[in-house]
């Protein structure tokens, strides 16, 4: 986005055929190129690549398969001379090994969704001056969440979790840190009423997270119905985050135009 005071947009490109949002899936060079170009044309500042689905009943894959999916997309989008080379690309993963693989393949940022931040990963991010999106994750990862007991996801829990991560990243020399309270990580046993309450409790109290002195990313959570998606995206936009992650950048753009 280029309009004044607009957040930066991470447009989702899923390389996982089992992902729930079918129109975000791109398999093969032609589809990846088309999806990336469409995201950029409709307002995305970043192309956020995902190789694993967090859908609760999606098949579980290992790091090798995740990297096998990410590699060709990174080659296509970040190869010098590529028509897409100017895109900023982030890799969405909870695997430190996959994150380092993404950086080696030219990723500009890591959207890290694992619970812990190992030192080798932080060193790799710092050495490449990449952007690190630091995510609230009270479980080891989205796979382990499936069988775990529900954990607290309120503002206090988010701050307690993100604070040490930010401190560790700064200590390692990571200069570009963005925090994400992770509106998309909801325990499978959470009903729809609890889910929307948990998400909006963060959105409506975003200023509390500014105590960590980092830019903030919010996910415009993908709701089943179109009007619900618009309403959620509008709530996220009005909260004033610095970054928004979305499957539909054009929706954020249109809402931003109406907000001005």
In a domain, 129, yes or no: yes
Residue 16: its pLDDT value, please? 93
Q: Determine if the pTM surpasses 0.85.
A: yes
Query: Contact, 111 vs 90, CB < 8 A?
Result: yes
Residue 2 belongs to a domain = no
Determine, yes or no, domain membership for 176. Answer: yes
**Closest by Cα among 52, 103, 99 to 78:** 103
Q: Measure the CA–CA gap between 180 and 219, rounded to whole angstroms.
A: 8
Domain count, the chain: 1
What is the model's pLDDT at position 238?
94
CB atoms within 10 A of CB 135: 25
Contacts of 114 (CB under 8 A, 6+ apart): 93, 94, 95, 96, 135, 137, 140, 141
CA dist., res. 152 & res. 60, Å (int):
25
Strand order in the sheet with 109-112: 176-180, 131-135, 109-112, 88-93, 46-50, 8-14, 243-246, 217-219
* Residue 1 domain flag: no
| Residue 109 within a domain | yes
Domain that holds residue 182: 8-259
**Does 184 reside within a domain?**
yes
In the predicted model, residues of the chain with pLDDT beneath 50 are: 1-2
Q: What CATH number is attached to the domain comprising 64? A: 3.20.20.20
CA–CA separation, 246 and 200 (whole Å): 16
pLDDT score of 49: 98
d(CA 198, CA 152) in angstroms, rounded, equals 10
- Please report whether residue 3 resides in a domain: no
Q: What is the pLDDT of residue 260?
A: 56
Is residue 50 one of the residues assigned to a domain? yes
**Of 131, 144, 220, which is closest to residue 177 (Cα–Cα)?**
131
CA dist 56 and 147 (Å) reads 10
């Amino acid at each position: 986005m280029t309009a004044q005071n607009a957040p930066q947009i991470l447009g989702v490109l899923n390389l996982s055929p089992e992902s729930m949002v079918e129109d975000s899936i791109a398999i093969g060079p032609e589809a990846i190129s088309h999806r990336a170009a469409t995201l950029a044309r409709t307002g995305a500042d970043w192309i956020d690549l995902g190789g694993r689905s967090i859908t609760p009943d999606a098949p579980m894959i290992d790091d090798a398969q995740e990297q096998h999916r990410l590699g060709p997309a990174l080659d296509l989008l970040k190869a010098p001379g590529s028509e897409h080379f100017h895109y900023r690309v982030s890799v969405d993963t909870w695997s430190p090994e996959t994150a380092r693989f993404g950086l080696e393949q030219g990723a500009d940022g890591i959207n890290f969704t694992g619970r812990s931040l190992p030192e080798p990963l932080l060193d790799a991010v710092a050495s490449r001056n990449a952007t690190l999106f630091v995510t609230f994750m009270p479980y080891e990862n989205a796979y382990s969440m499936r069988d775990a007991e529900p954990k607290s996801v309120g503002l206090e829990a988010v701050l307690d979790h993100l604070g040490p991560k930010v401190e560790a990243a700064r200590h390692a020399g990571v200069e570009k840190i963005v925090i994400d309270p992770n509106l998309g990580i909801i325990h499978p046993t959470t009903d729809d009423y609890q889910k929307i309450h948990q998400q909006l409790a963060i959105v409506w109290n975003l200023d509390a997270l500014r105590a960590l002195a980092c830019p903030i990313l919010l996910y415009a959570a993908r709701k089943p119905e179109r009007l619900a998606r618009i309403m959620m995206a509008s709530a996220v936009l009005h909260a004033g985050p610095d970054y928004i992650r979305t499957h539909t950048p054009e929706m954020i753009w249109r809402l931003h135009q109406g907000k001005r």
